[in-house]
Amino acid sequence: MASMLLTSLRSSPLTSVQAAQFGKTSWVSAELKNTSPKSKKTLAKSGVKNVVLVDGVRTPFLLSGTTYADLMPHDLARAALQGLLKRTGLPKDAVDYIVYGTVIQEVKTSNVAREAALGAGFSDKTPAHTVTMACISSNQPSVQLITFPYRKMRKTMLSLNKAKTLGARLSLLGSIRLAHLSPELPAVAEFSTAETMGHSADRLAAAFGVSRLEQDEFALRSHKLAKKAQDSELLSDVISFKVPGRDIVSKDNGIRPATMEQMAKLKPAFIKPHGTVTAANSSFLTDGASAVLIMSEEKALAMGYKPKAYLRDFVYVSQDPKDQLLLGPTYATPKVLEKSGLTLNDIDVFEFHEAFAGQIMANLKAMDSDWFGQTYMGRKTKVGAPPMEKFNTWGGSLSLGHPFAATGCRLVTTVAHRLQKEGGQYGLVAACAAGGQGHAMVIEAYPQ
């Protein structure tokens, strides 16, 4: 039977002397094409079934608090599932299993996957479960909007249910104060370090000598490339969605190319007054949902599908959550390349999650540093930085948006589409995540 991997929306220190060893990373704007020659080898393994990506879709990614403001997580997840069914013509009874995920748990739907599946019309006999792994949850995969639990009141009400005497009940009711009605907001800071991710990104950029100018230039690049891809109708994974009681949405609404002069006027968002991370060079709070259909190649062909890509090797990594919180791509990339028997030069398409421009630039500098590879990764030489003409050429999270748990599926689908469009053979997805975690995956183009 076919199986579905479904995901939806909504996550030893360097010294200043050592940081001087990292020079300016140079890059150029990329064209929406790739002239790299195809490799002749394949990553198919004898005796191992090929797993293929049949297709992927997503609702438009919208700025939080806009058109999706009144929806719950399973509403958007349901829309993504229905969009995937419509696009692929997949019979609902052909699905073995549904997986969704969450970054911040919604209190009314403890299993978002199950509620979304039932809402989308899948059989109640189809199992579904929900997972979480911060910003790389959709590589598991994942979903989430935000709700605010009233934990103090909940604790009091649970105690009230257990009270055996009238006096005990009256005492508990008398203990309720206005503070009990104050919502406990989802934690923004890292639990293990009590530091926000933006603060970590600012320190990481400083450690690697990433200037404010470099960050603004990279962010502007992302917006310009996303706008060009959107105008060229390359973002074909986006489906139109009629929001109940509101308009039909059909495009991401966070793509807003500005000017360097406009971006330079913004004040630091986290480390004030001398930080370099701003609202303009950070990914913005976003709502949206995504879904992908995966199955064995044998099953896909038997059902009449033409797959888009093979999902090959993948790795998960973790490192110091304090000073290397966002360096997941640096650690994961060489591991997945080694696992697949490829080199950086074999990769035709790179899609890295852009949490912050400073985070991306720091990763590129770390990957291109012999010193960092030797000191922190136990390597003899550097990993090597991806060439920018192959890197995030249809925009990234800085411009398209980042609904925490939906981004991974967007990355995978984008790689598949870029490989088809550009004639490449291998793509690489990489992302950082809260807790100092990271992920990377190698994807191979399906023969056209």
- Cα separation, 268 vs 262, in Å, equals 14
Structure tokens at 418: 């870029």
pLDDT at position 32, please? 43
- Cα separation, 401 vs 439, in Å, equals 19
pLDDT at position 162, please? 66
C-alpha 392, offset from chain centre:
13
pTM: 0.81
Domain regions of the chain by residue span:
51-147+190-445, 151-180
- Cα separation, 398 vs 357, in Å, equals 7
Chunk the chain into consecutive blocks of 10 residues (it has 448) and report each block's average pLDDT, rounded to whole numbers.
39 34 42 48 86 94 90 89 93 86 66 86 84 51 34 53 70 62 50 74 94 97 98 97 94 96 95 93 91 91 95 88 88 96 97 95 97 95 96 97 86 97 97 82 94
Does residue 129 carry a catalytic annotation? no
C-alpha 431, offset from chain centre:
7
In the block, residue with structure tokens 């709700």: 147
Q: If DSSP states are collapsed to H, E and C, what string results for the chain?
A: CEEEEEEECCCCCCCHHHHCCCCCCCCCCCCCCCCCCCCCCCCCCCCCCCEEEEEEEECCCEECCCCCCCCCHHHHHHHHHHHHHHHHCCCHHHEEEEEEECCCCCCCCCCHHHHHHHHCCCCCCCCEEEECECECHHHCCCCCCCCCCCHHHHHHHHHHHHCCCHHHHHHHHHCCCHHHHCCCCCCCECCCCCCEHHHHHHHHHHHCCCCHHHHHHHHHHHHHHHHHHHHCCCCCCECCEECCCCCEECCCCCCCCCCHHHHHCCCCCCCCCCCCCCCCCECCEEECEEEEEEEEHHHHHHCCCCCCEEEEEEEEEECCCCCCCCCHHHHHHHHHHHHHCCCHHHCCEEEECCCEHHHHHHHHHHHCCHHHHHHHCCCCCCCCCCCHHHECECECHHHHCECHHHHHHHHHHHHHHHHHHHCCCEEEEEEEECCCEEEEEEEEECCC
pLDDT at position 25, please? 41
Catalytic residue, chosen from 135, 199, 409, 439, is 135
**277 φ, ψ (degrees, to nearest 5):** -85, 125
| Cβ–Cβ < 8 Å for 313, 442 | yes
Q: Is 9 exposed, middle or buried (0-12, 13-18, 19+ CB in 10 A)?
A: buried
pLDDT at position 95, please? 86
- Cα separation, 122 vs 7, in Å, equals 16
Catalytic residue, chosen from 74, 199, 223, 402, is 402
Q: Positive or negative, the Cα torsion across 161, 167, 170, 172?
A: negative
Residue 118's identity, in one-letter code, is L
Residue 261's identity, in one-letter code, is E
Residue 426's identity, in one-letter code, is Y
Residue 35's identity, in one-letter code, is T
Structure tokens at 294: 């995966």
Does residue 353 carry a catalytic annotation? no
Structure tokens at 391: 């890197």
Fold of 51-147+190-445: Peroxisomal Thiolase; Chain A, domain 1 (3.40.47)
Query: Omega of the bond prior to 273 within 30 degrees of 0, cis?
Result: yes
pLDDT at position 170, please? 74
Does residue 402 carry a catalytic annotation? yes
Catalytic residue, chosen from 74, 223, 409, 432, is 432
